[in-house]
Amino acid sequence: MKIPPLISYLGKSIAFGLMVAALLLLFFPSLKGGALLPDLISNSREMSFSYAAHRAGPAVVNIYTRSFAGNRGEKAELRPQGLGSGVIMNQRGHVLTNYHVIADADQIIVALQDGRVYSAELVGTDKLTDLAVLYIESDNLPVIPQDPDLRPDVGDVVLAIGNPYNVGQTITQGIISATGRLGLSSMGPDSNGRQDLLQTDAAINEGNSGGALVNTNGNLVGINTAAYHLNGNQESYGISFAIPYRLAKRIMDELIANGRVIRGYLGISSVEINPIVARMMNLGDLRGLVVESLDPAGPAAKGGMQRGDVLLKINGEAISGVRAAMDRIVESRPGAQMKISVIRDGKPLELTVTIEEDLRYQNQQDATSAASAS
């Protein structure tokens, strides 16, 4: 006798249901007493970032600055000036913070989370990246966890650690909203350096500057530096910035080694070739940079580069964009020769340019470092 399809389907469904019920009773005996699955779920450990907080938090310090009231002298009085945060980067006692946290300070105080307090020595500052390195003399310092291979990406969960409004160490949570955001400079002769910032919606308030942005493992992702404000009286929530770890570490190492950051300088202002630029200039499928202007006394002009030149390669490597080209130039040592492939009036040319040191802001930084010494 043939079983009707409907009865066969219902029989299989009932058999499958009985099998699932038997498995649930086998693995969850408490269900025999009428326990509900939501009760079981509620007993599981809730998501927590305590591991990252406890791993990174001790290495984030509070920074207090004081300055002399009136002219310096025997009767001059040191008065509180500002506050911020910092990050202990190594056992030698180097603390990384923001330049604007310690700018114009006559005395810098570093307070650890375990109660230790030190007068800090200023090692060096880099105004262009808003970074400063301090030194404290101590043993058994907690050091922020660091991963040189870390590559932050949009959507990564991050924690901002600092001392907002001097209420004590506070941790806020968010995600990385964007990377490579808002360069603080361009390749132009009047620019003031460049910086690829991480954008985050983790709250960064006054006093958080110089603190740590870490991932859920507690590894340093960046140095908190700024929150975006629409105007002087109105705040824009959820738009904060941090200096990426790799850039901050490179700047710190240079400040420790040289007391200043040595940057290569080419002296051009350029625009990246996109489909619109390519169409306007009849460049076809060429990809690279178009020189908009030059410093007449800069290395590019001395090497024969002209306004309107299309830059295609640097030392034989194709130029992928303004940021990549700028990195190559800035990280080149003064005196290094660079072979630049260009197109001029439709004809290929090979130019040799000698990189010079970027001294445009060095005098300002030297004066600031001298005035800020504790």
Q: Catalytic residues, which ones?
A: 100, 130, 209
Assess contact for 131 and 243: CB atoms under 8 A: yes
Other Cβ atoms closer than 10 A to 219: 18
Residues 6+ apart with CB under 8 A from 53: 159, 161, 171, 218
Count each helix (H run) and each strand (E run) in the chain, helices first: 9, 21
DSSP codes of every residue in 7-76: HHHHHHHHHHHHHHHHHHHHH-GGGGGT--HHHHHHTSPPP--HHHHHHHGGGEEEEEEEEEESS-STT-
* Residues, the chain: 374
Token match 């290094």: residue? 336
List Cα–Cα distances, 294 to 84, 187, 313, in angstroms: 39, 10, 18
List Cα–Cα distances, 261 to 77, 188, 211, 222, 326, in angstroms: 33, 19, 21, 19, 15
SS3 318: strand
DSSP codes of every residue in 215-240: ETT--EEEEEEEEEEEETTEEEEEEE
Residues 6+ apart with CB under 8 A from 97: 63, 84, 85, 86, 87, 131, 132, 133, 134, 209, 210, 223
Rg over alpha carbons for the chain, rounded to the nearest Å, is: 28
Q: Is the dihedral of CA 112, 116, 122, 123 positive or negative?
A: negative
**What gap in Å lies between CA 134 and CA 368, rounded to an integer?**
14
**What gap in Å lies between CA 256 and CA 283, rounded to an integer?**
45
